Structure 1
Amino acid sequence: MKITKYHAKYFAYELTRQLPSNDIGKLTASLQDAQVDLNPHQVEAALFAFKSPLSNGAILADEVGLGKTIEAGIILSQQWAERKRKLLIISPSNLRKQWNQELADKFFLPSTILETKSFNQELKNGNLNPFNQNDLIVICSFQFAKAKASYLEHTNWDLVIIDEAHRLRNVYKTSNVIGNAIKNALLPRKKVLLTATPLQNSILELYGLVSIIDEYIFGDLKSFKSQYSHQLEEHDYLELRNRLQPVCKRTLRRQVLEYISYTNRRAIREEFIPLPQEQQLYDWVSEYLQRPQLYALPNGQRQLMTLILRKLLASSTYAIHGTFDTLIKRLELVLQKQNNDLIEEIDEDFESLDEIQDEWLNDDDLVVEEAILSEADIEAIKNEIQDLKKFRELAKIINVNSKAEQLFKALDKAFEQLKKLGAKEKALIFTESKRTQDYLLSILEARGYKGKVILFNGSNNDPKSNEIYRNWLNTHKGTDKITGSATADKRAAIVEYFKDEATIMIATEAASEGVNLQFCSLVVNYDMPWNPQRIEQRIGRCHRYGQKFDVVVVNFVNIKNDADIRVYQLLEEKFQLFNGVFGASDEVLGAIGNGIDFEKRIAQIYNECRNEAEIKKAFDALQEELKPAITAKIQNVRSTLLENFDEAVRERLRVDFEKSKAYLNTFEQKLWRTTKFFLEDYATFHDDNYSFSLVNSPFPEDNIHAGPYMILRPEKGKKKSDIYIPDDTNIYRIGHKLAQKILKSCKEEATPVAEIVFDYTNTPTQITLLEKYIGQSGWLQVQHLAISSFEHEDYILLACFTDEGEQIDQETAQRLFSLYATVNHNIAKPTDVAMKANEMIEHLKHELVHENANRNRDFFDVEMDKLDQWADDMKIGLEREIKDLDAEIKLRKAEAKKLLDLNAKVKAQRHIKELEKKRSEKREALFSAQDDIDEKKEDLLSNIEKMLNQKIKQEELFTIKWAIV
């Protein structure tokens, strides 16, 4: 038994229809399309962002670890499905690749990273605005968005996602150049801000973030300060909370523990003592880097290059040896009056340099001016070359590194911990240098790990990686796993090899971005970054949602180096990076705002302090600064304003979650049944695991894989991540090219009036609603209704009745398509049947149009209330200023009367006149503000009038004579 082409057509329209913003089923297609497990708070957050077509966006402020990226991915998927594809993500530069990879892996969404090189290439290719991309989500950094603000402004974005948005929370200050540039460029666009710390130090930060979304939620800064910056009473908080609720949503980790289980971090501190020659090299290079004049480092780049040299020195003698070569060559070229790009040379080894320089350097710093050298300069350069050669020779003869020797002991300890935990013996070792990476590979392979170690870096171009890549392409030939991007596919191949074959992956910072390594439970920080956010990012590759075991974190500490010890203490004790359930807290990482600033402070201490006492004093001062920046008062304010989660809300969330899962289950069933119907003569199907393979393609003109394909439909109580997916399997989903072609074809099927017999007896599902109609017959007409007003909405209307004239409601009529059926023959549609069906359809249509109008009215009321509140804010602020000026004028007049000296009286009256003039200007501003308000309201009314002109399109899909047996 099977379904008919009438079933398939009905399902195809149901699967592709667009639902209203407030419908719990709106995101079903996006959720089915995504390779992520469904969590209720994430669905709730995504729906929150969509809830009004007139809204300018939302702030999603869930605590760390709850998957704000997933929420944004669901939102982006929905936009994509609705063909709204002018989409932008602004993120910190070190998260760009992670976004790129997560969108591809979890949501099958294509994206491109725009930075200087790719931007300029687009210009060369004739694209006058490289932000205009066809069917690609654009990802860029904060700095790049600021630099290209004019291009951003002239792109008609459907939606902008701003990650780590707390970086812009001081946008209310004119000194915040990046924040204001981004805000002004994107003012009219819809935005979703992601931040775990929307309020850190001051309530004004909330004002700043909200103003990025919509300037009309609060008045101007003065009016906000006048209302909310003083000592607030309970009713003030409640009022402010009510005004924030439509735009800001926050979920706490403790509120979702029934859905998400978290594992712990366990720290191992591995201490080492440098050998005498290593210590000698360290002392020589430290003294060299503290010299007032260095010719090897361009002045504008000195601070950054000193940091990099210190990191390479701490990494290994092999790393710094190669860098000495680079510096010597640079100085020799300087003597020959030639320049070379030091940053480019060192970037070959220290891969994260290009990202760090984004935040450390200005464009001017990158320009190296040719200096006129005096005789003294030339002599000094020659001496500097000799010193560097001396350092290089010492580095060359050091064959054993004490830290590397300690690595073997650390691995033994850590693997023992993993064994106790029941986790796989896998280790992710991070180094900041490619030369150190090669060195560690050689010593690990020489001492027991031959064939068990792989490398991961920015190029992944070593012989072993290329071999892994070739084998991977062979294994996955003809599947969707191959994206066509050599870079992305090679990364995927190496990660897969690490998961299935290797024991150890030695990685540069390239692996801290955009890869999911939750199958590994051991992170080794062989080299320790000074940026806490970068460390958190590293550990987050393994300690993430979906990790089944506690994660062991190994850190190396040079106990002969006072500064190294103090840095480790700060990272461990102040930032809480290495122990506990969640790692670094929102408060701590949010307090530093930008890890680069912290990194600069550490670099400054290393450069300026020359003995133990100076180091102690500098670190004590820094530790004092890092005392919890968030006071108990601010914590209480944040809790009051943003954390509303009573039992009623929890219960509603649980109910909505169950509804979402039910929608998804039905949705997947319809997709499966439609696909089986259409591919009956083209594919072999396996109902037990919802998989199939194409024997031949129904669309030979398209490049469609033969399969196998699988719908990820988890069994009850399980998640998508629990499903075993064979390596050669394509994930079949609504957004897949094959599914889209099938649904389009089913919609276009010819479905003349026919008699259809529904077989209740042989359908395995029991449907109580239909039992009373067994043995009866009647008529069913199906129509597609599209309403376009504030947003586009699709409805499938069913007019169903028995031969005796009994009307059957929509829900029951829909259940007919759950039954197997056969088409008997084509018949004519009687006139009375057509009239009755049309009458029923018109009634249903009237109800939906009325419901649409009521929903639009509510959206309109919210917008008008917002504008009225904004008008009140502006009025309150200005009136308060006028009142203050009145009081001051009155006081000055009284004082002027008491003056005896005529000159003093004249000066006093002049000052009074200036105050009166200022008061007049404020009064004019009050009227002007009212005009602005009226103009804004007029704009809104004009837009709404256009939208209110409902465009209604109606189309009959088919009419059938039905019978149930």
Structure 2
Amino acid sequence: MPHPDVSAQLLEANGFAGKTVLLNGTNKDASSSAIYQRWKSRHLHSGRISGSRTADMKAAIVEHFRSDEAQILISTEAGGEGINLQFCSVLINYDLPWNPQKVEQRIGRVHRYGQKNDVVVVNFVNGKNPADQRVFQLLNEKLNLFEGVFGASDQILGAISGNIDIEKRIFAIFQNCRSDEDIEREFDRLQADMAPLLEVKEENARQALLDHFDRDVVSNLKTLRDESNDFLREYEQVLLDLASAELADAEIGRNHFYYDGRRFDLSWANVQSHDSEFFRLQANEHHLAWELIRRARQRSLQPARLQFHHEQLQGQYADLQPWQGQRGTLQLVNLCFSFNHGKSQETHLLVLATTHDGQHLPLKTAEHLLRVPVAAVVPLEYVDDSIFQGWLNFEQERYRRQTEQQLDEYLEQESYKLERWAEDKRKALMCEVDELDDRIKAFKKESRSLPSTREKVEAKKHLRKLERQRDYALSRYHQAKKDIEQQEDELLDDVSARLELNSRAEVLFTIEWELR
């Protein structure tokens, strides 16, 4: 990397004059000293001054960078740790260290708690140097340093550093290899040495995530690893739970299952990778997923007492923990709203659960309860569900109000869009009419001074042509007004039809429950 002062001079001369700041560990230049003195004056009696010039200089430089006075921070390795830059979202690695922990430290300055934006990491790599290319490949593809939450975890990096001195190995490659073939061979050997360790540690890290993190948190994480389909989203997890419940002979994996000699995957990427079956509710209703749903719907559900075992669940639901050891009653209701004269409908599965001492479980917590494996089922002759009637009526009314609120927002949004479109259309047409009027007036004035009768006749013909164009523009304007009024009427009719809501509640089953 060129000297930081040279980089700063280059940027200052190319559009960033007065917008750069340096951090190099000593910062003895005049600009840094001035920043440092201003910082000390601002925080003279605040307790922010530690007394260590090195630490205080870093704090002063970072504060100056955070202000509107600077846009770019140029830093040596001195900025690799001990500073918080989560107010930034772009990191440029001019040169990549051979030690992956140092790279992780750099990224960690920006990608840290409090960051509100996606972080962009730009890495400069010498494409003509095979060794530099292999270093980047090692950091990016093998250690996944640039992939966010599920990148190279501290556990993985710590394990590698405790068993393989990557920096020393790479230094030896640079020192001893004399040909591209030698470089490729030695990097292949290094990656082979790392592979078993990475595989074991990464699998342990992922399994720990699944076992100890809340399942809702895991399903909502948006990372490149998430997109690689190692972790299921909520909808996919429900489908996998369906297969587990309905197919006693299925071998259930983390994101797939085997049944009847075939592999079924829940993501299209994995289907392509493994040449497997796609387990989804597709348009073609002859697929296995639809068959399992039809089978489940046809089953007669009798009153029963179910014993749920939370510890048998892969992962956990944090909101269920306060209810462990409790017993109560649960009812699953299919709540259906129809509108637009019965042409459209919305359905909601409503899980109502209460304890024997009268406490109501939150609706989401009750849903989570039905995701927990059941260890024992005791048939019952009768379960009293009268306790749910008042609660069900309340929820029906709440959903009705919620639907009406959505309709109100829909009316406001569509009316606003229609008004803007109508205004733009009217303005455009009136501009055309006004322009033709101006041309007609100007042409009339010019035609009066024409010397011959023939020229005046020709001018009159042209004038009539302009007047017909104006009249046609006016007719289009009035037709557009009618079209706009018609669309407004259709919008009001649509909302009115939607407001005529009819609801019905179908109880699917009622059970007694116990959570262990």
* TM-score, normalization by structure 1: 0.28
